[in-house]
Structure 1
Amino acid sequence: MCLRATGGRQLRHNPARRKQSVINASESSPAALCGGLATALLRIAVAALAGCTAQHTPQVTPRIHTAQPVSGSEDYCAWYGDARDGVLYFGQAAFWAAKRAHAGDPRGDLAASGPQLIGRFDLQRERMLPPLDVTAPGARSGVWDVHAHRNGRVYYTTFFEEMGAVDPATGDVSRFRGLGLGLNEIAAGEGDTLLVTRYGAGPREDPQQGSLLVISPEGVLLEEHALTPPAGYTAAPKTPALDTASATYWLTADLLPRGAGAVRNDAFVLSLDGVQRRRIETPEIQFVASNPQVGLLRAERSGSELDLVRPVGSVVLDTDFAAAFDFTQDVKPTPDGGAVVTQWSGLVHRVAADGSSSRLQLPNLQQGGLYYTAVLADDRICATYCAGVRVVCTRIP
Structure 2
Amino acid sequence: MDTQKSAILKALLREFGYTHRSLATEVNRVSGRFFGRPGAATDRDVRRWVSGAVRWPTGRYLLPLAEIFDRPPEAMGFVPRGRSSRLPVPPPRDADREEEPVKRRTFLLDVASTAATVALALGLDETPVSGRLTLADVQRISGVIGRLQAHFNAIGGGALLEVATAYIHRLRDAVDGCTYGPNVEKALHSAISDLYSSAGWAAHDGGYGELARLHHAAALQSAILAGDKRGQARAWSNLAMQARVEGRHREALQINRAALDSRQARQDPRIAALLHSRLAIGHARSGDSPAAARSVLAAEAAYDRFDTAAPPPPWLRFLDAAEISGLSAIAHRAMGRLPDAEIATAQALQLLPSNMHRNRAYYGVQLAELQIAQGELTRGTATVAAIDTSALSSRRIGDRLATIHHTLTA
Bin of the TM-score, shorter chain as denominator length: under 0.3
Higher helix residue share? 2
Higher strand residue share? 1
